[in-house]
Amino acid sequence: MPSSSSIKHLTRTQIDTTRWNDCIEQANNESPYARADYLDALCPGWEALVQGDYQLVMPLPVKRKFGIRYLYQPTLVPHLGVYGKSIDSEQLISFLQSIPKNIRWIDATLNPSNRVEHPDFPIRMRTNYILSLVDEYDTLRSRYRENHRRNLQRAQKAGCTVNTTIDVREIFQLVQNYVIPRPSLSDSTKKSFLLLMENWMQSGRAQTYGVRVNGTLQAGALFLLDRNRAYYLLAGNHPNGKTLGASHALIDAFIQANAGTDRILDFEGSDLPSLAFFYAGFGSKTEPYAWLQWNRLPWWVRWIKSGSASM
């Protein structure tokens, strides 16, 4: 177990980007969300906790409001936490205890491998859905809910066509137009994110899927890819697409293209009943992950913001 003193707090300028990304890529819980370029795009100025020679790392997206530094969960970053080849509960606790004391409010979700039960940390569990794609397509499809199979028939009759070369900007616009809550990104952050995704698509780290009917994009999604998982990150639907089964056709096409591989399709949530029904209908299983809300504000600030859930 690393002691708190062996864990260093680094600002972004002090982080060795190459060693950081090497750690993430070699980690048992590898995630594209923890890569330095992804964090740079969506939460510039992020900080980190680093143990040893980048054996274990923890990104810290930090902002300041009313003079108070706080740790937050950035838009399009579903979870973070501690990453490395082997992480036990004691190591995780040491990292959480090492979060700088001047970060007074913590509202963050941890990656699913970060399991912690400790009275000092106010943890609530949330639900993710994942689907192993190791079986052949016919076997995977046989596990779909009957309602999903009917939606696939509806999509076929409506003339839904799947395209895997959709411009990520078109998908982002679909999400902004019709998904609530909409992604809340500044213009500069949106520009950085879209540029990064274009680069990742060229290098095979990301892929887009879209479903059109008569030329109109009815459903679109951006998948992030690593060696183990495909992350269903940015998904949008035209209002007409919901009645046509367009999203069902999109997910089914991705499953068909990746069936028989050791990849896991990660749906990224959700605790919302309608989305949970949609994800579970493909035969997926639940994967719990932790949500940490930790109030370390001075007592007088706690009194002022009593009843508030976040900064």
Which string of DSSP letters, residue by residue, matches 120-189?
A: TS-EEEEEEEEEE--S-HHHHHHTS-HHHHHHHHHHHHTT-EEES---HHHHHHHHHHH-SSPP---HHH
Q: Is 189 domain-assigned?
A: yes
SS3 at position 257: helix
Residues 6+ positions from 181 with CB-CB distance below 8 Å: none
Same domain for 255 and 153, yes or no, is yes
Q: Is 271 domain-assigned?
A: no
Closest C-alpha among 152, 119, 309, 169 to residue 246: 152
Q: Is 268 domain-assigned?
A: no
Same domain for 196 and 141, yes or no, is yes
Q: What is the pLDDT of residue 301?
A: 58
Q: Is the pLDDT of residue 3 over 80?
A: no
The pLDDT tens digits for 172-189 are 999 999 886 777 889 999
Same domain for 54 and 165, yes or no, is no
Q: Is the pLDDT of residue 94 over 80?
A: yes
Q: Is 211 domain-assigned?
A: yes
How many domains is the chain built from? 2
Q: Is the pLDDT of residue 127 over 70?
A: yes
Same domain for 88 and 158, yes or no, is no
Average pLDDT value over all residues in the chain: 91
CATH code for the domain of 60: 3.40.630
Same domain for 216 and 176, yes or no, is yes
Same domain for 96 and 185, yes or no, is no
Q: Is 310 domain-assigned?
A: no
Q: Is 44 domain-assigned?
A: yes
Same domain for 139 and 110, yes or no, is no
Q: Is 309 domain-assigned?
A: no
Given pLDDT bands bounded at 50, 70 and 90, which one contains residue 1?
A: very low
Which is more confidently placed, 13 or 180? 13
Same domain for 37 and 110, yes or no, is yes
Q: What is the pLDDT of residue 311?
A: 54
The pLDDT tens digits for 156-167 are 999 999 999 999
Determine which of 14-23, 63-72, 245-254 has the lowest per-residue pLDDT on average.
63-72
Same domain for 62 and 94, yes or no, is yes
Same domain for 195 and 178, yes or no, is yes
Determine which of 63-77, 202-216, 297-311 has the lowest per-residue pLDDT on average.
297-311
Between the CA of residue 51 and those of 19, 110, 192, what are the distances in Å? 12, 18, 29
Determine which of 1-15, 52-66, 73-87, 91-105 has the lowest per-residue pLDDT on average.
1-15
The pLDDT tens digits for 253-281 are 999 999 999 999 999 877 788 889 999 99
Q: Is 283 domain-assigned?
A: no
Range of the structural domain that residue 196 is part of: 134-262
- The percentage of residues in the chain with a pLDDT greater than 90, rounded to a whole number, is 78
CATH code for the domain of 168: 3.40.630.30
Same domain for 119 and 138, yes or no, is no
Same domain for 167 and 76, yes or no, is no
End-to-end CA distance of the chain: 32
Residues 6+ positions from 68 with CB-CB distance below 8 Å: 104, 105, 297, 301, 311
The pLDDT tens digits for 225-235 are 999 999 999 99
